[in-house]
Amino acid sequence: MANYYNENTILYLNGAFVKASEAKMDLYSQSLHYGYSVFEGIRSYKTVNGQTKIFKAVEHYNRLKVSAEALNLPYTYLTNKLIEATYELLKRNGFQDAYIRPVVYAPANMSFSINTESFIVIEAWEMAPFLGDKLIRVMTSSFERPNPKGFKIHAKAAGHYVNSILASQEAKSNGFDEALLMDMNGHVAEAPGANVFYEKDGKLFTPSLGNILPGITRATVLELCNELNIPVEEKIIQKQEMYSADAAFFCGTAAEIIGLQSLDDKTFGLPWEKSLSKLIQDSYKSLVVENKQVLVNEIAGVE
């Protein structure tokens, strides 16, 4: 298993900076027993002029709030304060290229009743930017994404990730790199921890919102398509369409933009290097290390 912290690592816990090795949480927490917590996956990058930038910090902390509220978890944290704390956390740990993991969790509560308080921890560990030179082999999962009528699927809730873990483990034990999950109607949904796009005849396609996590990288790709004048459409997607695609990629904060080599061993029409998807990958890579620093005081007032 990876080493996420050592004796010197600092984390942020309910307003204080404490040593990760000494931090405590309640083992009677409703979150541990029922997977009832919400979290974020954020990345910071060392930018072109050497400064540290948290990519889309406001969007991520706003989604954390949306996720908590979707699950009826009390949420009293302010986005600008959390961003400030995250920059401080990176500084205290000496991190620039890092993965940041805030978790909002519940108190001790074995019943299913609504809580009157919640807690927050922000952890971070170093993560080098991904070079994107590898293409991945993907299989269609035998697991479907959770039915949005059974879960708040737009929330980044810990419990949903049992589905992701099962799908990813299944793909790996079948010799693939990752899984692609369908939704309850058998349409293309997303990867265990990333959204999906495919490219056909100079246009990009991605599943509409409704049965997927609304990814911040997905939204960024839509913005990049706009800027680069690449036509893009959100729609219901059949798996057969993906089989006849020219290229396809997964996108997410951790995955960044990662090209698919094949889906169920079927390869795509274009070499990755010649695809528009590769152009999106390159543009994303430049975007995250740009020094468009959003200063915390500029977003003061954002909740």
Residues binding ligand PMP (CB under 6 A): 41, 164, 190, 193-195, 213, 215-218, 252-253
**Active-site residue among 156, 172, 200, 266?**
156
Short-list 103, 52, 55, CA closest to 256: 55
Least separation in angstroms between CB 37 and ligand PMP: 14
Contact 106, 36 (CB under 8 A): yes
Contact 195, 256 (CB under 8 A): no
Least separation in angstroms between CB 79 and ligand PMP: 15
Q: How far apart are the first and last CA of the chain?
A: 36
Q: How far apart are CA 204 and CA 225, in angstroms?
A: 8
- 235 labelled catalytic: no
Q: How far apart are CA 113 and CA 258, in angstroms?
A: 41
Least separation in angstroms between CB 217 and ligand PMP: 3
Structure tokens at 189: 């949904």
Least separation in angstroms between CB 275 and ligand PMP: 20
* Of 10 and 120, CB closest to ligand PMP: 120
* Of 215 and 296, CB closest to ligand PMP: 215
* Of 20 and 191, CB closest to ligand PMP: 191
Q: How far apart are CA 84 and CA 132, in angstroms?
A: 30
Catalytic residues: 156
